[in-house]
Structure 1
């Protein structure tokens, strides 16, 4: 056993060589001390501190030998043998002057800082998710070259590393989303829809929409899972229930399309439901365009556009004629004709508008003798007459408002349900134009019938309209309808008050000592506080050992507590003087009679409610619920477009769990990355 030495001194017999195989020459001159008895193994040596055998100077062992090599060269260069000195100098040159190859600059090969490495990995993952790139991109030669050019020290993560980072990011993002979601006592809306991938796999997507405590409208994707077998209402209901349970959400208001299985699924769950107004607009226009005269015009336009799409000579001739016909308007030169898609009515509108715009150039092509006679005859046969052009102009005039309405009601960044009634009121006024041609009058009549059939007097859009200061008076409705709507608002506000009171009673009935109060108690039993908070009130105070009937000492009973939350409803509406129904009626009457509206166009509806939340507390609770409900199920359908780029023929074997992770990260990236 080595001799015990005085503190602060180290003898050479106490320094043991590195335990194990080494490649660096420095370990001939450095070693370690023992920290406990036994053979000189890593378990028995103090591997955290390395000591120079020549000068007994100690260094922290960081896992590399760079500082040890510099120590030998600086302090013991004359003591090293020639072979070891040459090896040390060669290693030093490699560190100071690395070889320059390719695009790499003369930067010392020092490892990346851990934080820098983490940041670059996060940006790499963000690029993969943001552009929906294949994970195998990390092995692409050009990507690796780019990464090395940006930072030669950085090595992109492997495929398995990216998958690990992806799962870790999903967990962190899910925690952020969960913190923002409303509690069980709050309100939330969800949209749901199903879709099929190119691999013939069925998926369903659920999105959530809610208003935060700061009155910000949030829209997040919660889940995208594979659905096997038939899409029965029971299976849809089970999937929705599982999602709501997983995220611990309150019973939501569900927005779906008008499919029978979607309707029945929500009915099984007993939730509120609102139909998608985007689908309703599509059905209204689609049925109106089935008028025979309009159908004939659309068919002629499709054939005309088809001729120009199939023939390059006709298309070149059209561009040539555009240069001469539209010489005073260069923006129209180069526009190609648009063919419509049978399942998208707005594409028919785009086709008609482009045909109207390019009619002068099309006429010029039809009169060009240089074109093949058969092609010329085909174009002439499909050209619209002046009467048909008049019909097209009127048709465009009545279809454009529906396109505008679709854009308004399918937005996600601002409340849309409050705009449903006024949007269709605007459309009705446009359709009442008596100057339309006879053909268009048929279309208009059919549209009005479809609007009356599909846009019913539903409760949700009516409540949302009344909770907007600009439309609360419902001036576009009859007197009887307005009175009925205002009564509905009063009932909803009273129901909200009852719910809030029930919550307060539940909180009151449980006290700190575990005693439960009853509904007959005049006041709740106050919770106990520390002994410093005992209030002495002269002769009223009892002895410490004096006990009351329930076994609680009088000293505890005299301890005071801050119960300001308990008195919230009294401070706000003075319910000690008036009944609850009278207080609610006053609030609703004050709101409806107020001249306050969103006068400043820079102030949004939610900002208005943020300023007036404490003036109309019950109506603010209703506003959080109804203004968060989207007017369409388009948010869940937007996932379809993303998944069309995600699941392709080259990536058709992607696991459903990975699809869910990528969709979740991509759709929630802007708010929660």
Structure 2
């Protein structure tokens, strides 16, 4: 491969063209992952970072296949980095960048369906054609008007294809067979689709929970990952197929990094819906100690904020204090940072978890006076988004507002319209 001459390729990679490896760029020493069969990552890096290097118009080499493309992620494979190394980078700005959790779920589903049997892919492709015909045919729409509307898949959401399959299965078999179309689903194919829905439905639920912009998401990554692993372990007893086996392998490879990331561990503990219920018994003490250290480290900053707020007292506050100077003053208790921090953690963890439907932010708002330092940390960690979907929705809204026929909007009005649209439920 011409592009690989710009990288230090590890020895032994020529034996298996599909084997992933990391190669070091000769110009910036950055490690890029890929394989001999898929070199798009290497080409993208050279073109983006070292545009002066000639690639001799080399196009990415890809695996050709006659299989229908099912459940492809919406983002390109150039984002698919090494499976075993955490995709977490410390940028020059000091902020930590972590891969979108929803996108990782997409990659896991893609891995599973890419390596499953050709029979499953053909059945899914048949469902897509049937759904497209029903949406376009007036006669079919009239025949199924009493049923729920058939959904078709789109290119932006992988779970839209799962929704499409469910919408077809919700139509009674006898009624669906009345639709005049060359393709018909057999009883065996309907059973196969039902099994696919049972296997993939938890991934759809996980995607919807993580992409919800009305609730916290960082604290859900670890419990959701553990839940998916447990689900796949259970269904493998019923469906010992390549799909389940590959989903388990990909989940372990791609999503285990979230269980080891300290940011998500802390967020999960500070979520009163979970606390330490998700971790193993031998991990409880270690995670508790780490949280206490974070609290103790945060207390000096918290005390500085308290002193700053006292220094900002108005003249009226000072005069009122002088007026009541005849009253005996209440002695202020000295605060032991280590003791108070550990007490907050122990007290918080000993309480029962709140219901899954409750809002953790409302909990910390209510218990701010009881756990002031923990509440400060909770706001910091629970505010981290685990997925980029909420931000992408903002761009979609902005595109609808700033249309070509409204291109004379100034920044202030555009910002106000965006604020009203995004907060309409609170106005």
Classify the TM-score, shorter chain: 0.5 to 0.7
When residues 443 and 350 of structure 1 are mapped into structure 2, their CA distance, relative to the original with a 3 A threshold, is farther
Alignment: residue pair count: 339
TM norm structure 1: 0.43
Task: Give the whole-Å Cα distance in 1 for the aligned partners of 2:409 and 2:224.
Answer: 42
Deviation string for 1:616-658 (max 9, x for gaps)? 2221221222233333232222223323432445x16344625
When residues 310 and 443 of structure 1 are mapped into structure 2, their CA distance, relative to the original with a 3 A threshold, is farther
State yes or no: 1:490 paired with 2:275: no
Question: Which residue of 598, 601, 614 corresponds with 2:369?
Answer: 614
When residues 231 and 630 of structure 1 are mapped into structure 2, their CA distance, relative to the original with a 3 A threshold, is farther
Residue pairs, 1:99-138, within 5 angstroms: none
CA RMSD for the aligned pairs? 4.2
What is the match of residue 299 of structure 1? 125
When residues 296 and 465 of structure 1 are mapped into structure 2, their CA distance, relative to the original with a 3 A threshold, is same
Gaps of 5+ in 2: 1-46, 50-75, 81-86
Residue pairs, 1:490-569, within 5 angstroms: 490-503=292-305
Task: Give the whole-Å Cα distance in 1 for the aligned partners of 2:416 and 2:341.
Answer: 46
Task: Give the whole-Å Cα distance in 1 for the aligned partners of 2:327 and 2:167.
Answer: 74
Gaps of 5+ in 1: 1-229, 233-256, 323-331, 513-528, 535-558
Work out whether residues 339 and 351 of structure 1, in 8 Å CA contact, stay in contact via their aligned partners in 2. yes
What is the match of residue 65 of structure 2? none
Task: Give the whole-Å Cα distance in 1 for the aligned partners of 2:88 and 2:359.
Answer: 36
Higher-Rg structure is 1
State yes or no: 1:399 paired with 2:200: yes
Task: Give the whole-Å Cα distance in 2 for the aligned partners of 1:505 and 1:533.
Answer: 19
Shift of 1:463: 1.2
Task: Give the whole-Å Cα distance in 1 for the aligned partners of 2:215 and 2:364.
Answer: 13
What is the match of residue 338 of structure 1? 151
Task: Give the whole-Å Cα distance in 1 for the aligned partners of 2:407 and 2:188.
Answer: 54
State yes or no: 1:477 paired with 2:279: yes
Shift of 1:349: 0.4
Work out whether residues 338 and 354 of structure 1, in 8 Å CA contact, stay in contact via their aligned partners in 2. yes
Question: Which residue of 221, 226, 229 corresponds with 1:428?
Answer: 229
Task: Give the whole-Å Cα distance in 2 for the aligned partners of 1:449 and 1:533.
Answer: 65
TM norm structure 2: 0.65
Work out whether residues 291 and 442 of structure 1, in 8 Å CA contact, stay in contact via their aligned partners in 2. no
When residues 446 and 647 of structure 1 are mapped into structure 2, their CA distance, relative to the original with a 3 A threshold, is farther
Shift of 1:395: 1.1
What is the match of residue 341 of structure 2? 584
Deviation string for 1:430-471 (max 9, x for gaps)? 212211252443453354345435644222221122123342
Shift of 1:267: 1.4
What is the match of residue 598 of structure 1? 354
State yes or no: 1:354 paired with 2:167: yes
Deviation string for 1:231-283 (max 9, x for gaps)? 99xxxxxxxxxxxxxxxxxxxxxxxx9969xx999712112445432232233
Residue pairs, 1:76-95, within 5 angstroms: none
SS class of match (2:238):
coil
